[in-house]
Protein backbone atom coordinates (compact mmCIF):
# COMPACT_ATOMS: atom_id res chain seq x y z
CA UNK A 1 0.00 0.00 0.00
CA UNK A 2 2.64 2.44 1.13
CA UNK A 3 4.92 1.33 -1.66
CA UNK A 4 2.14 1.98 -4.13
CA UNK A 5 1.82 5.59 -2.99
CA UNK A 6 5.54 6.24 -3.10
CA UNK A 7 5.65 4.97 -6.65
CA UNK A 8 2.70 7.19 -7.57
CA UNK A 9 4.45 10.23 -6.16
CA UNK A 10 7.56 9.37 -8.17
CA UNK A 11 5.46 8.92 -11.29
CA UNK A 12 3.69 12.24 -10.81
CA UNK A 13 6.97 14.06 -10.23
CA UNK A 14 8.52 12.45 -13.30
CA UNK A 15 5.55 13.50 -15.42
CA UNK A 16 6.01 17.11 -14.30
CA UNK A 17 9.71 17.01 -15.19
CA UNK A 18 8.93 15.58 -18.64
CA UNK A 19 6.39 18.33 -19.23
CA UNK A 20 8.89 21.01 -18.23
CA UNK A 21 11.44 19.58 -20.66
CA UNK A 22 9.08 19.06 -23.59
CA UNK A 23 6.46 21.84 -23.48
CA UNK A 24 8.93 24.67 -24.22
CA UNK A 25 10.20 22.81 -27.28
CA UNK A 26 6.66 22.06 -28.43
CA UNK A 27 5.74 25.75 -28.12
CA UNK A 28 8.67 26.74 -30.36
CA UNK A 29 7.56 24.30 -33.03
CA UNK A 30 3.94 25.50 -32.88
CA UNK A 31 4.95 29.15 -32.89
CA UNK A 32 7.04 28.64 -36.01
CA UNK A 33 3.74 28.13 -37.87
CA UNK A 34 2.17 31.25 -36.39
CA UNK A 35 1.90 33.99 -39.07
CA UNK A 36 1.62 36.82 -36.50
CA UNK A 37 4.70 38.94 -35.93
CA UNK A 38 4.18 39.00 -32.16
CA UNK A 39 3.28 35.38 -31.58
CA UNK A 40 0.49 34.97 -29.07
CA UNK A 41 -0.17 31.49 -27.80
CA UNK A 42 -2.09 29.50 -28.84
CA UNK A 43 -1.89 30.84 -32.42
CA UNK A 44 -5.07 31.98 -34.14
CA UNK A 45 -4.04 30.49 -37.44
CA UNK A 46 -1.22 28.43 -38.89
CA UNK A 47 0.88 29.14 -41.96
CA UNK A 48 4.26 28.56 -43.54
CA UNK A 49 4.83 32.31 -43.89
CA UNK A 50 7.98 32.47 -41.74
CA UNK A 51 9.41 29.37 -43.39
CA UNK A 52 9.29 31.29 -46.66
CA UNK A 53 10.98 34.30 -45.06
CA UNK A 54 13.55 32.02 -43.48
CA UNK A 55 14.68 30.41 -46.71
CA UNK A 56 15.01 33.82 -48.37
CA UNK A 57 17.33 35.08 -45.65
CA UNK A 58 20.99 34.49 -46.46
CA UNK A 59 22.09 35.15 -42.87
CA UNK A 60 20.29 32.02 -41.71
CA UNK A 61 21.30 29.80 -44.59
CA UNK A 62 24.95 30.82 -44.24
CA UNK A 63 24.93 30.05 -40.51
CA UNK A 64 23.40 26.65 -41.13
CA UNK A 65 26.06 25.88 -43.76
CA UNK A 66 28.89 26.96 -41.45
CA UNK A 67 27.51 24.91 -38.55
CA UNK A 68 27.17 21.79 -40.69
CA UNK A 69 30.69 22.18 -42.11
CA UNK A 70 32.22 22.69 -38.67
CA UNK A 71 30.17 19.84 -37.21
CA UNK A 72 31.25 17.36 -39.87
CA UNK A 73 34.91 18.39 -39.69
CA UNK A 74 34.95 18.14 -35.89
CA UNK A 75 33.18 14.79 -35.99
CA UNK A 76 35.76 13.36 -38.40
CA UNK A 77 38.68 14.70 -36.38
CA UNK A 78 37.18 13.50 -33.10
CA UNK A 79 36.50 10.06 -34.56
CA UNK A 80 40.09 9.70 -35.75
CA UNK A 81 41.89 11.24 -32.78
CA UNK A 82 39.54 9.71 -30.23
CA UNK A 83 39.99 6.22 -31.67
CA UNK A 84 43.76 6.42 -31.96
CA UNK A 85 44.08 7.85 -28.46
CA UNK A 86 41.72 5.33 -26.91
CA UNK A 87 43.62 2.47 -28.62
CA UNK A 88 46.84 3.81 -27.17
CA UNK A 89 45.45 4.19 -23.68
CA UNK A 90 43.91 0.72 -23.61
CA UNK A 91 46.63 -1.30 -25.35
CA UNK A 92 49.81 0.38 -24.16
CA UNK A 93 51.38 0.54 -20.75
CA UNK A 94 53.11 3.76 -19.77
CA UNK A 95 53.82 5.73 -16.62
CA UNK A 96 51.30 8.10 -14.98
CA UNK A 97 48.53 6.82 -17.22
CA UNK A 98 45.81 7.73 -14.72
CA UNK A 99 46.95 11.31 -14.50
CA UNK A 100 47.17 11.54 -18.30
CA UNK A 101 43.56 10.36 -18.61
CA UNK A 102 42.50 13.29 -16.44
CA UNK A 103 44.55 15.59 -18.71
CA UNK A 104 42.59 14.26 -21.69
CA UNK A 105 39.34 14.94 -19.87
CA UNK A 106 40.17 18.52 -18.83
CA UNK A 107 38.07 20.06 -21.64
CA UNK A 108 35.04 18.69 -19.74
CA UNK A 109 36.14 20.42 -16.54
CA UNK A 110 37.30 23.82 -17.74
CA UNK A 111 34.30 26.18 -18.10
CA UNK A 112 33.61 26.99 -21.78
CA UNK A 113 34.02 30.74 -21.22
CA UNK A 114 37.60 30.14 -20.12
CA UNK A 115 38.25 27.87 -23.11
CA UNK A 116 36.92 30.65 -25.32
CA UNK A 117 39.07 33.37 -23.75
CA UNK A 118 42.25 31.27 -23.55
CA UNK A 119 42.14 30.01 -27.13
CA UNK A 120 41.42 33.48 -28.51
CA UNK A 121 44.38 35.00 -26.68
CA UNK A 122 46.62 32.13 -27.81
CA UNK A 123 45.60 32.23 -31.47
CA UNK A 124 45.93 36.00 -31.67
CA UNK A 125 49.35 35.89 -29.98
CA UNK A 126 50.73 33.28 -32.38
CA UNK A 127 49.33 35.28 -35.28
CA UNK A 128 46.81 32.76 -36.54
CA UNK A 129 44.09 34.67 -38.35
CA UNK A 130 40.54 34.16 -37.23
CA UNK A 131 38.88 31.65 -39.52
CA UNK A 132 36.54 28.69 -39.54
CA UNK A 133 39.54 26.52 -38.52
CA UNK A 134 39.62 28.12 -35.09
CA UNK A 135 36.14 26.76 -34.52
CA UNK A 136 36.94 23.35 -36.02
CA UNK A 137 40.04 22.66 -33.90
CA UNK A 138 38.40 23.97 -30.75
CA UNK A 139 35.16 22.05 -31.24
CA UNK A 140 37.32 18.98 -31.75
CA UNK A 141 39.00 19.72 -28.43
CA UNK A 142 35.69 20.20 -26.62
CA UNK A 143 34.13 16.98 -27.98
CA UNK A 144 37.31 14.88 -27.81
CA UNK A 145 36.90 13.65 -24.20
CA UNK A 146 33.46 12.28 -25.03
CA UNK A 147 34.73 10.53 -28.17
CA UNK A 148 37.67 9.12 -26.22
CA UNK A 149 35.49 7.78 -23.39
CA UNK A 150 33.01 6.15 -25.76
CA UNK A 151 35.63 4.34 -27.85
CA UNK A 152 37.64 3.40 -24.77
CA UNK A 153 34.67 1.82 -23.00
CA UNK A 154 34.10 -0.32 -26.11
CA UNK A 155 37.76 -1.35 -26.19
CA UNK A 156 37.59 -2.40 -22.53
CA UNK A 157 35.00 -5.00 -23.53
CA UNK A 158 37.06 -6.08 -26.51
CA UNK A 159 38.29 -9.66 -26.56
CA UNK A 160 41.92 -9.42 -27.66
CA UNK A 161 42.11 -13.14 -28.49
CA UNK A 162 40.35 -12.22 -31.74
CA UNK A 163 43.31 -10.08 -32.71
CA UNK A 164 45.75 -12.77 -31.61
CA UNK A 165 43.89 -15.27 -33.79
CA UNK A 166 44.12 -13.01 -36.83
CA UNK A 167 47.82 -12.49 -36.31
CA UNK A 168 48.47 -16.18 -35.75
CA UNK A 169 46.83 -16.75 -39.10
CA UNK A 170 49.38 -14.44 -40.67
CA UNK A 171 47.74 -11.03 -40.74
CA UNK A 172 50.03 -8.13 -39.95
CA UNK A 173 48.97 -5.63 -37.33
CA UNK A 174 47.52 -3.10 -39.73
CA UNK A 175 45.50 -5.75 -41.52
CA UNK A 176 44.34 -7.00 -38.16
CA UNK A 177 43.19 -3.54 -37.23
CA UNK A 178 41.43 -3.05 -40.54
CA UNK A 179 39.79 -6.46 -40.72
CA UNK A 180 39.15 -7.34 -37.08
CA UNK A 181 39.42 -4.48 -34.62
CA UNK A 182 37.90 -1.68 -36.65
CA UNK A 183 34.71 -3.53 -37.67
CA UNK A 184 34.09 -4.47 -34.06
CA UNK A 185 34.59 -1.02 -32.60
CA UNK A 186 33.09 0.89 -35.54
CA UNK A 187 29.63 1.28 -33.92
CA UNK A 188 31.34 2.98 -30.97
CA UNK A 189 33.34 5.21 -33.31
CA UNK A 190 30.12 6.15 -35.08
CA UNK A 191 28.47 7.01 -31.76
CA UNK A 192 31.48 9.12 -30.84
CA UNK A 193 31.35 10.99 -34.13
CA UNK A 194 27.63 11.66 -33.93
CA UNK A 195 28.02 12.97 -30.40
CA UNK A 196 30.91 15.16 -31.54
CA UNK A 197 28.72 16.56 -34.32
CA UNK A 198 25.88 17.27 -31.90
CA UNK A 199 28.22 18.94 -29.38
CA UNK A 200 29.80 21.04 -32.12
CA UNK A 201 26.46 21.98 -33.62
CA UNK A 202 25.10 23.21 -30.30
CA UNK A 203 28.20 24.81 -28.73
CA UNK A 204 27.62 28.47 -27.97
CA UNK A 205 29.45 29.80 -24.94
CA UNK A 206 33.01 29.22 -26.09
CA UNK A 207 32.23 29.63 -29.79
CA UNK A 208 31.00 33.23 -29.42
CA UNK A 209 34.65 34.23 -28.92
CA UNK A 210 35.79 32.64 -32.17
CA UNK A 211 33.22 33.58 -34.80
CA UNK A 212 33.36 36.51 -37.15
CA UNK A 213 30.91 37.81 -39.73
CA UNK A 214 31.44 34.98 -42.21
CA UNK A 215 31.69 32.14 -39.72
CA UNK A 216 28.63 32.80 -37.57
CA UNK A 217 27.14 29.52 -36.41
CA UNK A 218 23.51 28.64 -35.74
CA UNK A 219 23.58 28.96 -31.92
CA UNK A 220 25.16 32.42 -32.23
CA UNK A 221 22.36 33.55 -34.56
CA UNK A 222 19.66 32.17 -32.29
CA UNK A 223 21.25 33.75 -29.23
CA UNK A 224 21.60 37.20 -30.72
CA UNK A 225 18.06 37.12 -32.05
CA UNK A 226 16.75 35.96 -28.67
CA UNK A 227 18.52 38.90 -27.06
CA UNK A 228 17.44 41.57 -29.47
CA UNK A 229 13.84 40.38 -29.70
CA UNK A 230 13.15 39.07 -32.23
CA UNK A 231 12.10 38.15 -35.66
CA UNK A 232 9.80 35.14 -35.77
CA UNK A 233 12.17 33.36 -38.15
CA UNK A 234 14.16 32.31 -35.12
CA UNK A 235 11.36 29.87 -34.30
CA UNK A 236 11.73 28.37 -37.77
CA UNK A 237 15.48 28.05 -37.35
CA UNK A 238 15.07 26.51 -33.90
CA UNK A 239 12.44 24.08 -35.21
CA UNK A 240 14.67 22.99 -38.10
CA UNK A 241 17.65 22.54 -35.77
CA UNK A 242 15.45 20.59 -33.38
CA UNK A 243 14.48 18.25 -36.20
CA UNK A 244 18.07 17.88 -37.45
CA UNK A 245 19.61 17.30 -34.02
CA UNK A 246 17.02 14.65 -33.25
CA UNK A 247 16.94 12.96 -36.66
CA UNK A 248 20.73 12.75 -37.22
CA UNK A 249 21.44 10.72 -34.05
CA UNK A 250 18.37 8.55 -34.63
CA UNK A 251 19.53 7.69 -38.15
CA UNK A 252 22.97 6.93 -36.72
CA UNK A 253 21.35 4.67 -34.15
CA UNK A 254 19.61 2.72 -36.89
CA UNK A 255 22.85 2.42 -38.91
CA UNK A 256 24.62 1.30 -35.78
CA UNK A 257 22.04 -1.40 -35.14
CA UNK A 258 22.51 -2.60 -38.74
CA UNK A 259 26.28 -2.71 -38.24
CA UNK A 260 25.89 -4.76 -35.10
CA UNK A 261 23.48 -7.19 -36.75
CA UNK A 262 25.75 -7.73 -39.75
CA UNK A 263 28.66 -8.56 -37.54
CA UNK A 264 27.05 -11.36 -35.59
CA UNK B 1 80.15 -12.63 -59.88
CA UNK B 2 77.00 -14.60 -59.22
CA UNK B 3 77.75 -14.72 -55.53
CA UNK B 4 78.01 -10.92 -55.32
CA UNK B 5 74.78 -10.67 -57.26
CA UNK B 6 73.15 -13.01 -54.88
CA UNK B 7 74.58 -11.03 -52.04
CA UNK B 8 73.28 -7.81 -53.40
CA UNK B 9 69.86 -9.36 -53.93
CA UNK B 10 69.70 -10.73 -50.46
CA UNK B 11 70.87 -7.44 -48.99
CA UNK B 12 68.23 -5.66 -50.99
CA UNK B 13 65.63 -8.16 -49.82
CA UNK B 14 66.70 -7.75 -46.25
CA UNK B 15 66.65 -4.00 -46.67
CA UNK B 16 63.17 -4.06 -48.16
CA UNK B 17 61.92 -6.37 -45.46
CA UNK B 18 63.28 -4.14 -42.72
CA UNK B 19 61.82 -1.11 -44.42
CA UNK B 20 58.37 -2.64 -44.64
CA UNK B 21 58.55 -3.81 -41.08
CA UNK B 22 59.59 -0.36 -39.96
CA UNK B 23 56.86 1.31 -41.94
CA UNK B 24 54.32 -1.12 -40.67
CA UNK B 25 55.55 -0.53 -37.19
CA UNK B 26 55.34 3.19 -37.55
CA UNK B 27 51.81 2.99 -38.87
CA UNK B 28 50.87 0.67 -36.07
CA UNK B 29 52.45 2.88 -33.52
CA UNK B 30 50.44 5.74 -34.94
CA UNK B 31 47.27 3.75 -34.54
CA UNK B 32 48.18 2.96 -30.97
CA UNK B 33 49.39 6.38 -30.08
CA UNK B 34 47.98 7.77 -26.86
CA UNK B 35 49.93 10.92 -27.67
CA UNK B 36 47.69 12.35 -30.37
CA UNK B 37 44.82 13.29 -28.09
CA UNK B 38 47.23 14.48 -25.42
CA UNK B 39 49.04 16.73 -27.87
CA UNK B 40 45.72 18.17 -29.04
CA UNK B 41 44.71 18.91 -25.44
CA UNK B 42 48.14 20.33 -24.68
CA UNK B 43 48.28 22.64 -27.69
CA UNK B 44 44.71 23.88 -27.71
CA UNK B 45 43.93 23.97 -24.00
CA UNK B 46 46.87 23.70 -21.62
CA UNK B 47 49.21 26.06 -23.48
CA UNK B 48 46.46 28.66 -23.94
CA UNK B 49 45.67 28.40 -20.21
CA UNK B 50 49.34 28.97 -19.41
CA UNK B 51 49.36 32.04 -21.64
CA UNK B 52 46.31 33.28 -19.76
CA UNK B 53 48.36 33.07 -16.56
CA UNK B 54 51.00 35.31 -18.13
CA UNK B 55 48.38 37.71 -19.48
CA UNK B 56 46.84 38.17 -16.08
CA UNK B 57 50.05 39.94 -15.04
CA UNK B 58 50.00 42.34 -18.01
CA UNK B 59 48.15 45.61 -18.36
CA UNK B 60 45.69 46.80 -20.94
CA UNK B 61 46.76 49.95 -22.78
CA UNK B 62 44.82 52.36 -24.99
CA UNK B 63 42.11 50.76 -27.07
CA UNK B 64 42.88 47.15 -27.76
CA UNK B 65 46.60 47.28 -27.03
CA UNK B 66 48.31 45.37 -24.27
CA UNK B 67 51.29 46.58 -22.28
CA UNK B 68 53.59 43.68 -21.67
CA UNK B 69 55.05 44.50 -18.31
CA UNK B 70 54.72 42.72 -15.03
CA UNK B 71 51.98 44.17 -12.85
CA UNK B 72 49.64 42.98 -10.11
CA UNK B 73 47.09 45.62 -11.12
CA UNK B 74 44.44 43.10 -12.20
CA UNK B 75 44.58 41.12 -9.01
CA UNK B 76 44.58 44.27 -6.89
CA UNK B 77 41.51 45.44 -8.78
CA UNK B 78 39.80 42.18 -7.88
CA UNK B 79 40.85 42.31 -4.23
CA UNK B 80 40.03 45.99 -3.70
CA UNK B 81 36.61 46.18 -5.27
CA UNK B 82 33.82 43.99 -3.97
CA UNK B 83 31.93 43.96 -7.30
CA UNK B 84 33.80 41.06 -8.87
CA UNK B 85 34.11 39.16 -5.61
CA UNK B 86 30.36 39.36 -5.19
CA UNK B 87 29.82 38.13 -8.75
CA UNK B 88 31.99 35.07 -8.10
CA UNK B 89 30.31 34.32 -4.77
CA UNK B 90 26.91 34.67 -6.42
CA UNK B 91 27.90 32.32 -9.27
CA UNK B 92 29.06 29.64 -6.87
CA UNK B 93 25.92 30.22 -4.79
CA UNK B 94 23.77 29.67 -7.89
CA UNK B 95 25.82 26.54 -8.55
CA UNK B 96 25.10 25.14 -5.08
CA UNK B 97 21.42 26.12 -5.18
CA UNK B 98 20.91 24.57 -8.63
CA UNK B 99 22.65 21.39 -7.50
CA UNK B 100 20.45 21.15 -4.41
CA UNK B 101 17.32 21.40 -6.56
CA UNK B 102 18.51 19.28 -9.49
CA UNK B 103 19.68 16.42 -7.25
CA UNK B 104 16.25 15.32 -5.88
CA UNK B 105 14.43 16.05 -9.15
CA UNK B 106 16.99 14.29 -11.34
CA UNK B 107 17.23 11.39 -8.93
CA UNK B 108 13.46 10.94 -8.99
CA UNK B 109 13.31 10.81 -12.77
CA UNK B 110 16.42 8.62 -13.10
CA UNK B 111 15.00 6.25 -10.50
CA UNK B 112 11.63 6.23 -12.24
CA UNK B 113 13.11 5.32 -15.64
CA UNK B 114 15.46 2.78 -14.08
CA UNK B 115 12.72 0.97 -12.19
CA UNK B 116 9.90 1.19 -14.72
CA UNK B 117 9.99 -2.07 -16.57
CA UNK B 118 7.66 -1.61 -19.49
CA UNK B 119 7.78 -1.31 -23.25
CA UNK B 120 7.76 2.47 -22.76
CA UNK B 121 11.07 2.51 -20.88
CA UNK B 122 13.24 3.08 -24.00
CA UNK B 123 11.02 5.98 -25.03
CA UNK B 124 11.12 7.50 -21.55
CA UNK B 125 14.90 7.25 -21.65
CA UNK B 126 15.03 8.56 -25.22
CA UNK B 127 13.08 11.69 -24.27
CA UNK B 128 15.82 12.55 -21.77
CA UNK B 129 18.69 11.69 -24.13
CA UNK B 130 17.15 13.92 -26.81
CA UNK B 131 17.60 16.86 -24.41
CA UNK B 132 21.36 16.42 -24.80
CA UNK B 133 21.09 16.64 -28.53
CA UNK B 134 19.03 19.83 -28.77
CA UNK B 135 21.34 22.86 -28.49
CA UNK B 136 21.27 24.53 -25.08
CA UNK B 137 20.55 27.89 -26.72
CA UNK B 138 17.30 26.56 -28.12
CA UNK B 139 16.21 24.91 -24.89
CA UNK B 140 16.86 28.15 -23.03
CA UNK B 141 15.35 30.42 -25.67
CA UNK B 142 12.20 28.29 -25.47
CA UNK B 143 11.56 29.62 -21.96
CA UNK B 144 11.25 33.15 -23.33
CA UNK B 145 8.18 32.07 -25.27
CA UNK B 146 6.81 30.47 -22.09
CA UNK B 147 7.61 33.14 -19.51
CA UNK B 148 7.43 36.38 -21.51
CA UNK B 149 4.73 39.06 -21.15
CA UNK B 150 2.94 37.55 -24.13
CA UNK B 151 4.11 34.09 -23.20
CA UNK B 152 2.14 30.93 -22.62
CA UNK B 153 1.92 31.27 -18.83
CA UNK B 154 0.82 34.89 -18.82
CA UNK B 155 -1.68 34.39 -21.61
CA UNK B 156 -3.16 31.49 -19.72
CA UNK B 157 -3.35 33.39 -16.42
CA UNK B 158 -4.95 36.41 -18.13
CA UNK B 159 -7.44 34.15 -19.89
CA UNK B 160 -8.51 32.52 -16.64
CA UNK B 161 -8.75 35.96 -15.06
CA UNK B 162 -6.45 35.03 -12.19
CA UNK B 163 -4.32 38.07 -12.87
CA UNK B 164 -5.25 41.38 -14.44
CA UNK B 165 -1.71 42.36 -15.49
CA UNK B 166 0.92 40.04 -16.97
CA UNK B 167 3.36 38.85 -14.32
CA UNK B 168 7.06 39.60 -14.58
CA UNK B 169 8.41 36.06 -14.96
CA UNK B 170 11.08 36.62 -17.57
CA UNK B 171 14.28 38.49 -16.64
CA UNK B 172 14.06 37.40 -13.01
CA UNK B 173 16.26 35.15 -10.88
CA UNK B 174 13.44 32.61 -10.71
CA UNK B 175 13.11 32.53 -14.47
CA UNK B 176 16.86 32.01 -14.79
CA UNK B 177 16.84 29.21 -12.20
CA UNK B 178 13.95 27.47 -13.93
CA UNK B 179 15.75 27.49 -17.29
CA UNK B 180 19.01 26.43 -15.67
CA UNK B 181 17.47 23.56 -13.72
CA UNK B 182 15.51 22.09 -16.60
CA UNK B 183 18.46 22.32 -18.99
CA UNK B 184 20.87 20.66 -16.54
CA UNK B 185 18.49 17.92 -15.30
CA UNK B 186 19.56 15.34 -17.96
CA UNK B 187 23.10 15.41 -16.52
CA UNK B 188 21.67 14.11 -13.23
CA UNK B 189 19.02 11.82 -14.71
CA UNK B 190 21.24 9.74 -16.98
CA UNK B 191 23.99 8.72 -14.51
CA UNK B 192 21.37 7.96 -11.84
CA UNK B 193 19.37 5.94 -14.35
CA UNK B 194 22.52 4.03 -15.34
CA UNK B 195 23.26 3.01 -11.77
CA UNK B 196 19.65 2.29 -10.83
CA UNK B 197 19.15 0.03 -13.82
CA UNK B 198 22.08 -2.17 -12.78
CA UNK B 199 20.65 -2.85 -9.30
CA UNK B 200 19.33 -6.35 -8.86
CA UNK B 201 15.71 -6.00 -7.73
CA UNK B 202 16.12 -9.04 -5.48
CA UNK B 203 18.58 -7.24 -3.24
CA UNK B 204 15.95 -4.63 -2.40
CA UNK B 205 13.32 -7.31 -1.96
CA UNK B 206 15.68 -9.16 0.37
CA UNK B 207 16.08 -6.06 2.55
CA UNK B 208 12.31 -5.67 2.72
CA UNK B 209 11.77 -9.33 3.54
CA UNK B 210 14.16 -8.93 6.43
CA UNK B 211 11.84 -6.25 7.75
CA UNK B 212 13.30 -3.02 6.37
CA UNK B 213 10.76 -0.31 5.64
CA UNK B 214 10.62 1.23 2.18
CA UNK B 215 12.56 4.26 3.33
CA UNK B 216 15.16 2.17 5.14
CA UNK B 217 15.61 -0.14 2.15
CA UNK B 218 16.10 2.93 -0.03
CA UNK B 219 18.57 4.65 2.28
CA UNK B 220 20.62 1.56 3.07
CA UNK B 221 20.50 -0.38 -0.17
CA UNK B 222 19.43 1.64 -3.20
CA UNK B 223 21.12 4.92 -2.34
CA UNK B 224 24.62 3.49 -1.69
CA UNK B 225 24.40 1.43 -4.89
CA UNK B 226 23.46 4.49 -6.95
CA UNK B 227 26.03 6.71 -5.29
CA UNK B 228 28.46 6.73 -8.27
CA UNK B 229 25.67 8.07 -10.49
CA UNK B 230 24.75 10.72 -7.94
CA UNK B 231 28.37 11.84 -7.63
CA UNK B 232 28.70 12.15 -11.40
CA UNK B 233 25.48 14.15 -11.57
CA UNK B 234 26.53 16.51 -8.80
CA UNK B 235 29.87 17.20 -10.46
CA UNK B 236 28.31 18.16 -13.80
CA UNK B 237 25.42 20.07 -12.28
CA UNK B 238 27.71 22.23 -10.20
CA UNK B 239 30.27 22.97 -12.92
CA UNK B 240 27.62 23.74 -15.52
CA UNK B 241 25.45 25.93 -13.30
CA UNK B 242 28.26 27.88 -11.63
CA UNK B 243 29.63 28.62 -15.10
CA UNK B 244 26.28 29.19 -16.79
CA UNK B 245 26.22 31.76 -19.54
CA UNK B 246 23.06 31.39 -21.59
CA UNK B 247 20.40 31.13 -18.88
CA UNK B 248 21.52 34.20 -16.88
CA UNK B 249 21.86 36.25 -20.07
CA UNK B 250 18.60 35.24 -21.74
CA UNK B 251 16.32 34.68 -18.73
CA UNK B 252 17.94 36.40 -15.75
CA UNK B 253 17.45 39.92 -14.47
CA UNK B 254 19.99 42.71 -14.24
CA UNK B 255 21.15 41.46 -10.84
CA UNK B 256 21.85 38.02 -12.30
CA UNK B 257 25.21 38.80 -13.86
CA UNK B 258 27.18 35.68 -13.18
CA UNK B 259 30.91 35.19 -13.64
CA UNK B 260 30.85 33.66 -17.13
CA UNK B 261 28.94 36.51 -18.82
CA UNK B 262 31.00 39.07 -16.88
CA UNK B 263 34.28 37.59 -18.15
CA UNK B 264 32.89 37.62 -21.68
CA UNK B 265 31.90 41.30 -21.36
CA UNK B 266 35.29 42.33 -19.98
CA UNK B 267 36.97 40.42 -22.80
CA UNK B 268 34.81 41.29 -25.81
CA UNK B 269 33.31 44.68 -24.98
CA UNK B 270 35.88 46.33 -22.70
CA UNK B 271 38.72 44.65 -24.61
CA UNK B 272 40.55 44.35 -21.30
CA UNK B 273 42.21 41.02 -21.99
CA UNK B 274 44.57 41.06 -19.01
CA UNK B 275 41.76 41.65 -16.51
CA UNK B 276 39.59 39.02 -18.23
CA UNK B 277 42.57 36.67 -17.92
CA UNK B 278 42.92 37.40 -14.20
CA UNK B 279 39.20 36.83 -13.61
CA UNK B 280 39.36 33.59 -15.62
CA UNK B 281 42.29 32.39 -13.60
CA UNK B 282 40.65 33.15 -10.25
CA UNK B 283 37.51 31.38 -11.43
CA UNK B 284 39.40 28.34 -12.75
CA UNK B 285 41.40 28.06 -9.53
CA UNK B 286 38.21 28.09 -7.47
CA UNK B 287 36.68 25.41 -9.71
CA UNK B 288 39.96 23.50 -9.29
CA UNK B 289 39.63 23.77 -5.53
CA UNK B 290 36.10 22.35 -5.68
CA UNK B 291 37.36 19.52 -7.90
CA UNK B 292 40.19 18.84 -5.47
CA UNK B 293 37.75 18.55 -2.55
CA UNK B 294 35.64 16.38 -4.81
CA UNK B 295 38.46 13.95 -5.60
CA UNK B 296 38.98 13.36 -1.90
CA UNK B 297 35.47 11.90 -1.73
CA UNK B 298 35.08 10.38 -5.18
CA UNK B 299 36.88 9.24 -8.29
CA UNK B 300 37.01 12.03 -10.85
CA UNK B 301 37.56 9.83 -13.89
CA UNK B 302 34.65 7.60 -12.97
CA UNK B 303 32.42 10.63 -12.41
CA UNK B 304 33.31 12.11 -15.80
CA UNK B 305 32.64 8.79 -17.47
CA UNK B 306 29.10 8.97 -16.13
CA UNK B 307 28.28 11.68 -18.66
CA UNK B 308 29.19 9.71 -21.74
CA UNK B 309 26.66 6.96 -21.14
**pLDDT of B19-35, one tens digit each?**
666 555 666 666 667 88
Q: How far is CA B160 from the centre of its chain?
A: 40
In 3D space, the residue among B110, B127, B121 whose CA is nearest the CA of residue B228 turns out to be B110
Rounded to a whole number of angstroms, the distance from the CA of A206 to the nearest CA of chain B is 9
**pLDDT on residue A145:** 97
Angle between helices B152-160 and B136-147 (to 10 degrees): 20
Averaged pLDDT score across all residues of chain B: 87
- List of chain B residues whose C-beta atoms are within 8 Å of the C-beta of residue A107: 41, 45
Environment class of B253 (CB within 10 Å of its CB; exposed 0-12, middle 13-18, buried 19+) = middle
CB contact under 8 A, A144 and B41: yes
Interface with B, mutate which of A29, A178, A223 (most B CBs under 10 A):
A223
Closest to A24 (Cβ–Cβ): which among B142, B150, B268? B142
Q: Which residue of A has its CA nearest to B281?
A: A114
CA distances, B62 to each of B34, B271, B272, B300 (Å)? 45, 10, 10, 43
Averaged pLDDT score across all residues of chain A: 89
The whole-angstrom separation of Cα B37 and Cα B44 is 11
Rounded to a whole number of angstroms, the distance from the CA of B245 to the nearest CA of chain A is 7
In chain A, how many H helices and how many E strands?
A: 11, 0
**pLDDT on residue A63:** 95
What pLDDT digit, counting tens, does each position of B111-165 carry?
A: 999 988 888 888 999 999 999 889 999 999 999 989 988 888 988 898 888 888 8
The whole-angstrom separation of Cα B127 and Cα B80 is 48
CB contact under 8 A, B52 and A121: yes
Rounded to a whole number of angstroms, the distance from the CA of B151 to the nearest CA of chain A is 7
| Whether residue B4 has pLDDT greater than 60 | no
- List of chain B residues whose C-beta atoms are within 8 Å of the C-beta of residue A39: 145, 150
- List of chain A residues whose C-beta atoms are within 8 Å of the C-beta of residue B304: 105, 108-109, 145, 149
Least confident of A138-147, A176-185, B103-112, B175-184: A176-185
- List of chain A residues whose C-beta atoms are within 8 Å of the C-beta of residue B24: 172-174
Q: How many CB pairs under 8 A join A and B?
A: 267
Rounded to a whole number of angstroms, the distance from the CA of A15 to the nearest CA of chain B is 9
| Whether residue A154 has pLDDT greater than 50 | yes
- List of chain B residues whose C-beta atoms are within 8 Å of the C-beta of residue A195: 308
Mean pLDDT of B75-86: 90
**pLDDT on residue A262:** 62
Least confident of A75-79, A257-261, B300-304: A257-261
What pLDDT digit, counting tens, does each position of A194-252 carry?
A: 999 999 999 999 999 999 988 999 999 999 998 886 678 888 999 999 988 888 888 88
Least confident of B2-11, B85-94, B271-280: B2-11
CB contact under 8 A, A14 and B109: yes
- List of chain B residues whose C-beta atoms are within 8 Å of the C-beta of residue A201: 135
**pLDDT on residue B21:** 62
Rounded to a whole number of angstroms, the distance from the CA of B2 to the nearest CA of chain A is 33
CB contact under 8 A, B185 and A174: no
CB contact under 8 A, A201 and B135: yes
Confidence of residue B11 (pLDDT cuts 50, 70, 90): low
**pLDDT on residue A132:** 96
CB contact under 8 A, B182 and A137: no
CB contact under 8 A, B135 and A18: no
Q: Which residue of B has its CA nearest to A139?
A: B44
| Whether residue A135 has pLDDT greater than 60 | yes
Confidence of residue A65 (pLDDT cuts 50, 70, 90): very high
| Whether residue B218 has pLDDT greater than 80 | yes
CB contact under 8 A, B36 and A84: yes
CB contact under 8 A, B263 and A117: yes
CB contact under 8 A, B41 and A13: no
| Whether residue A62 has pLDDT greater than 70 | yes
Closest to A205 (Cβ–Cβ): which among B112, B246, B304? B246
**pLDDT on residue A1:** 39
**pLDDT on residue A259:** 74
Interface predicted TM-score (ipTM):
0.91
| Of residues A177 and A106, more confidently modeled | A106
Confidence of residue B1 (pLDDT cuts 50, 70, 90): very low
Amino acid sequence: MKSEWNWRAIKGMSLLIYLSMLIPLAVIVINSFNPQRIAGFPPESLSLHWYGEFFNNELFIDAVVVSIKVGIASALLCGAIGTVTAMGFVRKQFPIKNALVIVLLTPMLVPPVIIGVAATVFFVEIGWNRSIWWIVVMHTLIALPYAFLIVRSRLFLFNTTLEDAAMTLGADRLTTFREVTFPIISPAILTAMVLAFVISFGEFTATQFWVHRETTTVPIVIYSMARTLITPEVNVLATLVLVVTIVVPLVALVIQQRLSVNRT
Amino acid sequence: MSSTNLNRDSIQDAFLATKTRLMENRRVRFLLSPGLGLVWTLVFLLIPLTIIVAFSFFRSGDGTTIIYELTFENYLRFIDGTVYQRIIVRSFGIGVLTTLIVLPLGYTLGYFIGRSKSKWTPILLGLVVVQFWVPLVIRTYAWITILGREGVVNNFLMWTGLVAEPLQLLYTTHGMLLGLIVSILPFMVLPVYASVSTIDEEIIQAAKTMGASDIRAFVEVTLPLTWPGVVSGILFTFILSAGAFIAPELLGGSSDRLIAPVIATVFMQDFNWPFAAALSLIYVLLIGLVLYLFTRKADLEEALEGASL
